[in-house]
Structure 1
Amino acid sequence: MEKTLRPNEAEVKFLNMAYNKFYDIFEEAINDEFWEKEPYYRLSRLKTAFSIYGEILNYEPIKWVIKAIKEKRPPMESEIGSELFKFIRNIFAHFPFFDCWDDVYINSEIVNWYKKGLTIDKFLKKYAGKQEVKYRFWEADKKRMTYLTIAFPPKYDKDNNIYLKDMLSEKEGAKFSLIMMKKIMDTQVLEMN
């Protein structure tokens, strides 16, 4: 069997585009000035970052990193770095009706309008009612530790709207998400120019 070298030519082209755009958004969103911009602008940039990361999760070496995180890091870290972020990306992709993070919501009826058992539905069936997860992250340039909670919805049905803001706050949650995504993505970077 012939061994495939990674990354191949197509992957290099895709990864260069994806990483460059993601890092641009990361640098913008990590700065306090970003959070003073209009909510729609912030949501638009965050949607793009989650979309890029969702695509990068398809890259085989990133899958190996997620697997290693599952085996070696604290509980739920690999699930947050893969399943939760992909869930958020899918909400943005399939329900692009909202103008700000705090307005984004779904319920089982909306999620399953077309077909049951797809990615968002599977995620919510798996995690609804699960215990919240607490995280913290350090912003060295601000000498600030930020604490946040990732809360899974208590119920998943047609009568209870699940708001993204109740699962993950916009500012702290998005910063945490971007930092975690970047750490996972950075495992594939050989040099920065």
Structure 2
Amino acid sequence: MTTGKIMGIIALVIVGGIGLFIFFLYATIKTKSTSLNKYEPFSEWIGKTVVLHTETMLFKEQMRMNPNSKYPYTLADSLNPGWEYILALVENGSVTKIATLPAGTELSLERAVQYTNGVSGSSYPTIFGTLKSNGKEYKVGYQWGDLDLSKNHYKIEKSWKFHQAPWQAEQDTAFYALPKADFW
């Protein structure tokens, strides 16, 4: 074997190794997702048009939590556990308030997805839908559900709890089992 062939093989192995490293790094840190359409409590809402019982705010984030570009707006209401934080983000300009929607606004719920961050490993379920207000149509995401860390620590399957969504008359106090997001 000549020196040129040996150097070519070494270069190919190095380039291939770098490519493989980059692929594994990407696969490790990318946000993963899985459908929640067939999991409770989402299964009872998907495909339905609901009426919002509370005033809600529609906003657009500069650094989006929702990676689904088909649903660019985020919906929030005062019952959301992060409501004060959202208001602070509006105040400092990190999010743009699009509209305040009155109680009675209709929202068609279309799908639900569990996202798992590749870096932190934290998951956040989001339900997506379309609402119409003042002759305009908005594709929205509503982050709904929190993992009870103590239940999860003890490997209790039903460890997801859900705050009262703006379309619910009262909060559902049951705990639910949700899957972790898929790798791809």
Q: Which bracket does the TM-score occupy, shorter chain normalised?
A: under 0.3
**TM-score for both structures, normalised by structure 2:** 0.22
**TM-score for both structures, normalised by structure 1:** 0.21
User: 1 or 2 for the larger relative contact order (CA 8 Å, sep ≥6)?
Assistant: 2
* Structure with the larger helix share: 1
* Structure with the larger strand share: 2
